[in-house]
Amino acid sequence: MEIFLSQVLPEAPRAAVIWLLLLAVVIAAAAAIGTDRGRSWFDGDGRIRRAALPDAPPAAATERQELTRYADEVTVAADRAGTAARRWRDQWSAAAEEAATAWVAYEMAEAQLRRLDATTALPAPRTPRTPAEYAERERHLHRSALAAYWRGDLTVAELSDVFAHRDGWDPRLHPVHQEVYLARRVRDSRAARHRAAVDREQAAWQEAEAAAVAARSLRQEAMEALARLTAAGGRAPEESAKLLPWSTEPVGQPAARFV
């Protein structure tokens, strides 16, 4: 026994140290395993989410998406601008036709006035200056003014002046002079209408020009966007079929004014 103790006791501290080291290793391993399990359990939702969500698209796919979106938007804008340009062009065409019609009406009134002015060079027929004669002259003036009103050559206000014998409308004048004065008023009325028609035509021309410029710019931008999309491997949107050739050239020149 003494021999055993003498052999074991000197080795006891070394054995204790070894056992303590082994125990520390075991405890550390157990702690590490527990930590990994905890992390795995706590990160379960994250791993599930990452598994469910698709991978981030590559840069090329993102670029195609952006190009497709932009090409679609600018194509729609170009189509709307083209529609607006065509509408303004039609309005300008209608206004130009109206101005041309007003000019023809003015020329006819001017020619009629010149013919009547030529008759005033001759002495007017002498008629008895009786109440019946003046009453007939007044009726003649009213009939002529009403006829001009129904033709659209006099306004309601002007017709009212005729019956009220205002603004130069004199029922005592000889019918020849009445016709000259009426023709002059008709000529002036048609001239004013022509000037108003020219103003409308020029305003429509300016709008049509601006719309055509905007449409050409947007159409060019749309074509370039579609070219970039095609080069990137994308497919043109359905709206690109609307970019068929259509006229966005200047609409011409507005009618000339006259004095």
Tell me: the pLDDT tens digits for 209-224? Answer: 888 888 888 888 888 8
Rounded mean pLDDT, 127-150 = 88
Rounded mean pLDDT, 186-192 = 93
The reported pLDDT for the residue numbered 73 is: 81
The reported pLDDT for the residue numbered 131 is: 84
Percent of the chain's residues with pLDDT above 70: 63
Rounded mean pLDDT, 91-110 = 93
- For residue 43, the 8-state DSSP code is T
Tokens encoding 189: 């009325």
DSSP assignment string, 4-29: HHHHHGGGHHHHHHHHHHHHHHHHHH
Cβ-based neighbours of 175, under 8 Å, separated by 6 or more: 137, 140, 141
Residue 240 scores a pLDDT above 60: no
Burial of 50 (0-12, 13-18, 19+ CB in 10 A): exposed
The reported pLDDT for the residue numbered 139 is: 93
pLDDT greater at residue 210 or residue 67: 210
Distance (Å) of CA 237 to CA 80, 106, 243 = 16, 53, 11
- For residue 54, the 8-state DSSP code is P
CB 169 within 8 A of CB 140: no
Residue 144 scores a pLDDT above 80: yes
pLDDT per position as a tens digit, 156-171 = 999 999 999 988 898 8
Q: What is the C-alpha separation between 141 and 145, in angstroms, rounded?
A: 6
Tokens encoding 52: 């469910």
Residue 56 scores a pLDDT above 50: no
Q: What is the C-alpha separation between 105 and 200, in angstroms, rounded?
A: 17
SS3 of residue 57 by DSSP = coil
Mean pLDDT (the chain, rounded): 75
Cα 143-146-151 angle, rounded to 5 deg? 125
Q: What is the C-alpha separation between 236 and 136, in angstroms, rounded?
A: 80
SS3 of residue 120 by DSSP = coil
Q: How confident is the model at residue 103 (pLDDT cuts 50, 70, 90)?
A: very high
Q: What is the C-alpha separation between 191 and 102, in angstroms, rounded?
A: 8
pLDDT per position as a tens digit, 7-53 = 544 555 655 656 566 666 556 655 555 555 544 444 445 554 554 44
